[in-house]
């Protein structure tokens, strides 16, 4: 298994920042888009994406593939996704280990699944069919969850590892989601990080969340917290140089604040790399 080359440190491309990105050409290594926002025939989003794509690598990240649903795969949706990928030539295409609808009803949320052998076989088969249709390996993200199933037969990290092996897909390790789910369900986030197959991890997500005391919600509307930075450092030590980006989807700060977070991420990575170099000398 060969991971794609690391792109460095990126940000989510959000409309509120279009003008500043295009006018200042910030020192961002790459941008990630929400695929569904650009699966349209023209308009300002498409025009802005084309201009950004001229200067930066792009990764496509979807929220509506519904990989774990029992509904048939939506090949109209997948055709539009494939057409977008052919136009902008992303480094890769990703979506979530979740379902977003059933019986033809879209619920606009990333919903959890039981970690069972039956669910594993079902999702792996769907991932393989999507990969065959798109003509590329899919990158699958662990979602944050707020309820668990009594029927589960294995841990989330065991499920994710086996899915990657069976479907021969890659993984988007969302560090914040690992932390949020670990807090909500009482598992050790470090064990999750320490168990995932390093050869399968193509990307990290970093984000902020909302702390409600008894539970945490993956809202992407806060700065990355200290606990998630610490978990990122652990992941960076285990997995090495992996393309990493910060998601922000609400309560948008001035763009310079995101660049400051990006700089902190780079500092952590540079410190780890320097330590590794000294150890190898």
Do 205 and 164 form a contact (C-beta atoms < 8 A)? Answer: no
* CA angle, 236 then 242 then 244, to 5°: 90
CB atoms within 10 A of CB 47: 11
Residue 87 neighbours by CB distance under 10 Å: 13
Residue 1 clears pLDDT 80, i.e. is over it: no
> pLDDT tens across 184-243, in order?
999 999 999 999 999 999 999 999 999 999 999 999 999 999 999 999 999 999 999 999
pLDDT at 136 over 70: yes
Residue 4 lies in a domain: no
CA distance 59 to 229: 22
On whether residue 2 sits in a domain, the answer given is no
Contact indicator for 207, 173 with CB cutoff of 8 Å:
no
Residue 224 in domain: yes
The whole-angstrom separation of Cα 150 and Cα 147 is 10
Return the pLDDT at 280.
Answer: 81
Whether 50 is covered by a domain: the verdict is yes
Spell out the residues 6+ positions from residue 220 whose beta carbon is closer than 8 angstroms to its own. 207, 208, 209, 247, 248, 249, 250
Looking at the DSSP bridge assignments, the partners of residue 102 are 105
- Which pLDDT score, from 0 to 100, does residue 233 have? 98
pTM of the complete model: 0.95
What the block records as the tokens of 83 is: 């057409």
For residue 57, the domain's CATH number is: 3.20.20.150
Structural domains counted in the chain: 1
Q: Which domain holds residue 206?
A: 9-280
Percent of all residues in the chain with a pLDDT value above 70, rounded to a whole number = 99
Mean pLDDT of the chain: 95
């Amino acid at each position: 298994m060969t991971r794609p080359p690391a792109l460095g440190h990126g940000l989510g491309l959000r409309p509120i920042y279009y003008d500043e990105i295009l006018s200042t050409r910030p020192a961002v290594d790459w941008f990630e888009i929400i695929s569904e926002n650009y699966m349209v025939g023209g308009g300002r989003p498409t025009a802005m994406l084309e201009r950004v794509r001229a200067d930066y690598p792009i990764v496509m990240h979807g929220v509506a593939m519904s990989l774990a649903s029992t509904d048939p795969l939506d090949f109209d949706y997948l055709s539009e996704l494939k057409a977008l990928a052919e136009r902008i030539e992303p480094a890769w295409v990703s979506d979530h280990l979740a379902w977003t609808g059933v019986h033809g009803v879209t619920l606009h949320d990333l919903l959890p699944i039981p970690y069972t052998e039956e669910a594993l076989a079902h999702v792996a088969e769907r991932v393989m069919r999507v990969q065959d249709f798109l003509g590329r390996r899919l990158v699958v993200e662990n979602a944050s969850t707020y309820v668990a199933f009594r029927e589960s037969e294995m841990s989330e990290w065991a499920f994710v590892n086996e899915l990657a092996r069976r479907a021969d897909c890659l993984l988007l390790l969302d560090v914040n989601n690992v932390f949020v789910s670990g807090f909500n369900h009482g598992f050790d986030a470090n064990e999750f990080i320490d168990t995932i197959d390093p050869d399968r991890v193509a990307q990290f997500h970093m984000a902020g969340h909302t702390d409600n005391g008894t539970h945490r919600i993956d809202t992407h509307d806060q700065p990355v917290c200290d606990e998630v930075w610490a978990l990122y450092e652990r992941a960076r030590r285990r997995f090495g140089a992996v393309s990493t980006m910060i998601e922000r989807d609400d309560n948008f700060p001035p763009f310079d604040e995101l660049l400051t977070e990006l700089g902190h991420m780079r500092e952590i990575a540079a410190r780890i790399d320097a330590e590794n170099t000294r150890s190898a000398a």
